[in-house]
C-alpha cells in the first residue's frame, strides 16, 4: 500500500494511493479513517491525486541519518568507510514534501544532492533485536539528504551543513508492501534537470537496514513516524538556483523538488 499525507480544501489527511504511477491520470487517494500507525480503514471516499497537494508523508520527531554507508560515495569525498554505522541528525524543521521548493541556504555556496532510501518507523521501539527489525518498520520512501558541502568541510559537526530548513525532502508516499529483502536490492537514482547524476543500488550499503536500526535503537527510543536515512550512492554533486532535482527508487516512486533563491 502506498500511504500519502495530503491536503485538500485546507484539510490534512492520510490516504492510500491507488492506480499506476506510470499513468498519473489513473492515480487517486482513498482517504484513510484514522492514522497509519494504528489500525485503520479505507473510507471509500476517493479523490484524484491531481486535486490534492502531497505533503511530507510523515512528520518525524527526528530524522536519523547514516553517513558514508556506500563505499564509493565515501571514496569520492576522500573519506574512509566507518567500521560501525555513523549517525547524525536532521531536525523535524528540515522536512519538506515532494513539489516543495528548496530555498538555497544563504550561508552556503555549495549545495549538494544526496539520493537516499528512507525507512519510516511504524511503532515506538527501543533496543530492537535484529530478528525483529521488520516488525517496527511501517514502510519506505525516497529522501534527499541535501548538504551544504562547503560548510560540512569547514565545521567540525554537521548540524548546519545538513540540518538547515528544507534540507530533508521526503516522499512522495510511504510504500508499506515491501519486505527487508526487497528493500535491500532496489535501484536508486538522482537526476538534475533530467540529467542522471547518481545511479546505485541499496545492495551496495556497507551496513544493512537492520544493522542501522539495531545500532540507533540501542541508544534511543524511536517513535512512530521517525525516519532513518540509509546513506547515498556515489555521484553527489552541486545544485544551483533553478535546478529541478528528482530522486527515484525502484518500487516506491519519485521525489521532485526545485531549488529557488531564498527570499
Q: CA–CA separation, 72 vs 56, rounded Å?
A: 29
pLDDT of 118: 98
Residues lower than pLDDT 70 in the chain: none
What CA–CA distance (Å, rounded) separates 99 from 144?
Answer: 13
Task: Give the Å distances, CA to CA, from 102 to 146, 169, 256.
Answer: 9, 9, 10
Q: What is the DSSP letter of 36?
A: T
pLDDT at 53: 97
- Do residues 73 and 147 both lie within one domain? yes
Q: Is the alpha carbon torsion for 12, 16, 20, 21 positive or negative?
A: positive
| Domain identity same for 88 and 140 | yes
- Is 68 found in the same domain as 49? no
Cα distances (Å, whole numbers) of residue 24 to 9, 20, 209, 256: 21, 7, 31, 15
CA 1 to chain CA centroid, nearest Å = 17
CATH label of the domain that carries residue 182: 3.90.850.10
Residues 29 and 125 in one domain: no
Give me the pLDDT at residue 125, please: 98
Query: At 8, which CATH number?
Result: 2.30.30.370
Tell me: do 246 and 175 sit in the same domain: yes
Same domain, 150 and 99: yes
Is 71 in the same domain as 165?
yes
What domain count does the chain have? 2
Residue pair 209/230 in contact by the 8 Å Cβ criterion: yes
3-state secondary structure of 25: helix
Task: Say how far apart CA 76 and CA 92 lie, in whole Å.
Answer: 29
pLDDT for res 263: 82
**Quick one: 98 and 147 in the same domain?**
yes
Domain residues for the domain of 67 are: 63-260
Q: Is the pTM of this model over 0.85?
A: yes
Amino acid at each position: 500500500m502506498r500511504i500519502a499525507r495530503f491536503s485538500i480544501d485546507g484539510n490534512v489527511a492520510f490516504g492510500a494511493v491507488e492506480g499506476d504511477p506510470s499513468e498519473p491520470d489513473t492515480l487517486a487517494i482513498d482517504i484513510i479513517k484514522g492514522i497509519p500507525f494504528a489500525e485503520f480503514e479505507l473510507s471509500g471516499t476517493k479523490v484524484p491525486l491531481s486535486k490534492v497537494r502531497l505533503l511530507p508523508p510523515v512528520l518525524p520527531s527526528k530524522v536519523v541519518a547514516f553517513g558514508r554507508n556506500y563505499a564509493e560515495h565515501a571514496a569520492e569525498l576522500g573519506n574512509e568507510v566507518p567500521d560501525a554505522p555513523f549517525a547524525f541528525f536532521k531536525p523535524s524543521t528540515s522536512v519538506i514534501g515532494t513539489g516543495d521548493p528548496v530555498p538555497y541556504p544563504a550561508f552556503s555556496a555549495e549545495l549538494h544532492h544526496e539520493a537516499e532510501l528512507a525507512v519510516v518507523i511504524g511503532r515506538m521501539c527501543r533496543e530492537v533485536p535484529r530478528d525483529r527489525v521488520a516488525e517496527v518498520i511501517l514502510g519506505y520512501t525516497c529522501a534527499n539528504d541535501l548538504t551544504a558541502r562547503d560548510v560540512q568541510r569547514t565545521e567540525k559537526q554537521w548540524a548546519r551543513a545538513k540540518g538547515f530548513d528544507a534540507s530533508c525532502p521526503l516522499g512522495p508516499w510511504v510504500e508499506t508492501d515491501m519486505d527487508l529483502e526487497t528493500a535491500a536490492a532496489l535501484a536508486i537514482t538522482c537526476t538534475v534537470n533530467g540529467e542522471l547524476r547518481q545511479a546505485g543500488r541499496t545492495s551496495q550499503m556497507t551496513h544493512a537496514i537492520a544493522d542501522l536500526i539495531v545500532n540507533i535503537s540501542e541508544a534511543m527510543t524511536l517513535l512512530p513516524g521517525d525516519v532513518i536515512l540509509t546513506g547515498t550512492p556515489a555521484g553527489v554533486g552541486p545544485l544551483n538556483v533553478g535546478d529541478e532535482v528528482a530522486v527515484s527508487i525502484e518500487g516506491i516512486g519519485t521525489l521532485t523538488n526545485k531549488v529557488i533563491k531564498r527570499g
